[in-house]
Amino acid sequence: MTGVDYEAIEERLEYLIQVCNPRDQSDLLSFRTPCNTVMAIEATCTYGTNFSSEVPDSAYDGVDGSDELEPFDVETQRVCMCQSQLFDSLNGCNACKYCAMTMLLEQPAREETGPVGLLD
């Protein structure tokens, strides 16, 4: 029985984030992609537009700022999310993750150049 290669798993997860949650030239999340759009919609519908500027850091650091901001009531959140592009974006995000993970699992990681994938 072989051990779990956590380094390889971490490398592949980093690649998945790079592909499905890309950043722009300023190192901010690009909201042209479905996964980043999902985070923006959820944050905006929960806390309002002031929270959106905090999404890039909070998405990866585990700090969501929710202890400082009062969320909207559940009905307001529901209406906001249902009237947005949330579900289309979720479908696109899931498709991105599925495609990227399928490619990563089918091909071994390259030692010198990183994982094989969509950006090669």
User: Is residue 117 one of the residues assigned to a domain?
Assistant: no
- Which of 8-12, 29-33, 41-45 holds the top average pLDDT? 41-45
Could you tell me how many residues make up the chain? 120
User: Is residue 120 one of the residues assigned to a domain?
Assistant: no
pLDDT digits (tens, 9 = 90+) for 39-85: 999 999 998 886 655 444 444 344 454 456 789 999 999 999 999 99
The Cβ of residue 29 has, within 10 Å, a number of other Cβ atoms equal to 20
User: Is residue 116 one of the residues assigned to a domain?
Assistant: no
If one counts the domains in the chain, the total is 1
> In this predicted structure, what is the pLDDT of residue 31?
87
Instruction: Pick the range with the lowest mean pLDDT from 25-39, 72-86, 88-102, 104-118.
Output: 104-118
Full-model pTM: 0.69
Query: Angle at the Cα of 80 (from 25 to 63), degrees rounded to 5?
Result: 50
- Structural domain boundaries, residue 58: 6-106
User: Is residue 14 one of the residues assigned to a domain?
Assistant: yes
Instruction: Pick the range with the lowest mean pLDDT from 64-73, 90-99, 104-113.
Output: 104-113
